């Protein structure tokens, strides 16, 4: 899962000063010399209100900022990393779910989306396939992730997503989820003292919720590919803060490399309990200790598939076999047949 958006910057209060031309100053917008009155805002000079408005105007309603009553405004960075200014009254309207922009923000299937995010919305699986490829290529090139050729990805509606993930506990603002199915075949020896376990099938995939802009979908896909990487390499991580945090750190780094630093920045102030805390922990570890030490740390919090099955045996085998074990109150000796496992 991933989460975009955590604005929270304070309103800037910037009042332009109207001054009289004493010496010749150049307008920072039109380049002409300012004769008569001119405005200054920060260290910039504007020959007229029109030129001031060309640089400082609300991206939603168009009012000129810096002069009363619009001296209070906010800067919002959209998904294309463009900085936009919004006046105080436009900031009161609902913001885009993904970037917080108020630029022609409208509800699409109940979700507020700005004009820029609407332009690159992903609604179908075909539209997300190039993003999956881009994410797999980047992870392989920069972080040596093996490519999983059997991984399936599907873009589904929010309703379908909720229906198919009903059993898991996901935060309300999740954008995608990684799903693994595996089944084991287990068989008792005639004296019921030995249980042989074989892995029958493993299959992994991800569901992505339709309606998010490209940059956010790419970020979500990287997050889920990192779950897939961890599942293949270490199987089970015992602390969701570590696992989600590492997935968030990888998504942030790949979004940065792709030219979307805002998606990385938002995570530093994320208030989400597992994801925000996990991101800061694991991103910090990667920066301070480096890749190898971070992976060793994750490994020390993991169980291989064999260890996981041994520890959770009664949930991994069929009901009748579990009943036999419960009745006997003696654990059988476990022999693993074909159980693929990462070396530990
Ligand atoms: Zn996750
Ligand atoms: Zn000018
Ligand atoms: Zn406005
Ligand atoms: Zn947006």
Per-residue pLDDT of the chain (344 residues; tens, 9 = 90+): 444 443 445 778 777 777 776 567 899 999 998 887 888 888 889 998 999 999 999 999 999 998 889 989 999 999 999 999 999 999 999 999 999 999 999 999 889 999 999 999 999 999 999 999 999 999 999 999 999 888 999 999 988 888 888 755 566 667 888 888 777 888 888 988 888 888 777 788 999 999 999 999 999 999 999 999 999 899 899 999 999 999 999 999 999 999 999 999 989 999 988 999 999 999 999 999 999 999 999 999 999 888 888 888 888 888 888 888 888 878 888 888 776 654 43
Ligand 3 center–CA 76 separation, angstroms: 13
Ligand 4 center–CA 110 separation, angstroms: 14
206, 247 Cβ separation under 8 angstroms = no
Burial of 262 (0-12, 13-18, 19+ CB in 10 A): buried
Helix (H, G, I), strand (E, B) or coil at 195: strand
- Indicate whether 138 belongs to any domain: yes
**pLDDT tens per residue across span 170-209:** 666 678 888 887 778 888 889 888 888 887 777 889 999 9
DSSP at 57: B
Ligand 3 center–CA 65 separation, angstroms: 9
- Residue written as token pair 């929010």: 158
Ligand 2 center–CA 36 separation, angstroms: 12
| Token pair listed for 43 | 């260290």
d(CA 312, CA 151): 26
d(CA 77, CA 79): 7
Angle between helices 261-268 and 240-257 (to 10 degrees): 150
218, 134 Cβ separation under 8 angstroms = yes
Ligand 4 center–CA 82 separation, angstroms: 11
Entry field: residues in the chain:
344
Burial of 83 (0-12, 13-18, 19+ CB in 10 A): exposed
- Indicate whether 101 belongs to any domain: no
Ligand 2 center–CA 169 separation, angstroms: 56
- Indicate whether 314 belongs to any domain: no
- Indicate whether 70 belongs to any domain: no
**Sign of the dihedral through C-alpha 85, 107, 274, 209:** negative
- Indicate whether 300 belongs to any domain: yes
Q: Any idea which ligand is nearest the CA of 25?
A: 2
User: For residue 141, what are the contacts with CB-CB under 8 A and spacing of at least 6?
Assistant: none
Ligand 1 center–CA 1 separation, angstroms: 4
DSSP at 95: P
d(CA 252, CA 225): 13
Q: Any idea which ligand is nearest the CA of 59?
A: 3
- Would you list the DSSP string of 113-177? E-HHHHHTEE-SHHHHHHHHHHHHHHHHHHH-PPP-TT-EEEEE-HHHHHHHTTTS---TT--EE
129, 153 Cβ separation under 8 angstroms = yes
pTM: 0.85
Q: In this structure, which residues have their CB less than 5 angstroms from ion ligand 3? A: 58, 60-61, 87, 90
Ligand 3 center–CA 63 separation, angstroms: 6
Ligand 3 center–CA 106 separation, angstroms: 15
H or E, element range at 213: strand 212-213
Whole domain around residue 297: which residue ranges?
A: 122-305
Give rounded-to-5 percent helix, strand, coil for the chain: 40, 25, 35
Ligand 2 center–CA 89 separation, angstroms: 27
d(CA 130, CA 217): 11
Q: Any idea which ligand is nearest the CA of 175?
A: 1
- Indicate whether 315 belongs to any domain: no
d(CA 74, CA 85): 6
- Indicate whether 278 belongs to any domain: yes
Q: Any idea which ligand is nearest the CA of 26?
A: 2
Structural domain total, the chain: 1
- Indicate whether 156 belongs to any domain: yes
Ligand 2 center–CA 289 separation, angstroms: 52
Burial of 85 (0-12, 13-18, 19+ CB in 10 A): buried
Burial of 8 (0-12, 13-18, 19+ CB in 10 A): exposed
**Sign of the dihedral through C-alpha 22, 23, 29, 31:** positive
């Amino acid at each position: 899962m991933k989460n975009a958006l955590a604005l929270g910057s304070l309103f800037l209060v910037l009042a332009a000063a109207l001054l009289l031309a004493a010496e010749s100053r150049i307008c920072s917008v039109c380049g002409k010399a300012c004769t008569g009155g001119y405005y200054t805002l920060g260290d910039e000079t504007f020959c007229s209100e029109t030129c001031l408005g060309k640089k400082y105007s609300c991206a939603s309603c168009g009012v000129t900022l810096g002069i009363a009553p619009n001296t209070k405004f906010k800067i919002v960075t959209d998904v294309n990393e463009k900085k936009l200014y919004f006046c105080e009254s436009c900031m009161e309207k609902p913001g885009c779910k993904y970037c917080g922009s108020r630029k022609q923000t409208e509800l699409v299937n109940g979700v507020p989306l700005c004009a820029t995010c609407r332009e690159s919305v992903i609604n179908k699986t075909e539209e997300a396939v190039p993003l999956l490829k881009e994410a797999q290529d980047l992870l392989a090139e920069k972080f040596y992730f093996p490519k999983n050729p059997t991984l399936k990805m599907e873009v589904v509606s929010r309703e379908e997503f909720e229906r198919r993930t009903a059993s898991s506990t996901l935060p309300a603002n999740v954008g995608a989820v990684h799903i693994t199915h595996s089944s084991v075949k287990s068989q008792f020896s005639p004296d019921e003292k030995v249980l042989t376990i074989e892995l029958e099938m493993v299959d992994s995939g991800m569901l992505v919720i339709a309606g998010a802009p490209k940059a956010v979908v790419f970020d979500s896909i990287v997050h889920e590919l990192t779950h897939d990487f961890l599942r293949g390499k270490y199987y089970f991580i015992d602390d969701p803060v570590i696992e989600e945090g590492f997935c968030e750190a990888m998504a942030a780094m790949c979004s940065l490399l792709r030219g979307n630093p805002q998606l990385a920045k938002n995570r530093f102030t994320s208030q989400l309990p597992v994801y925000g805390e996990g991101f800061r922990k694991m991103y910090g570890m990667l920066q301070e200790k480096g890749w190898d030490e971070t992976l060793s740390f994750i490994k020390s919090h993991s169980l291989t598939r064999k260890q996981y099955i041994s520890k959770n045996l009664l949930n991994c085998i069929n009901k009748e076999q579990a009943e036999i074990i419960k009745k006997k109150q003696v654990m059988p000796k476990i022999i693993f047949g074909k159980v693929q496992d990462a070396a530990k």
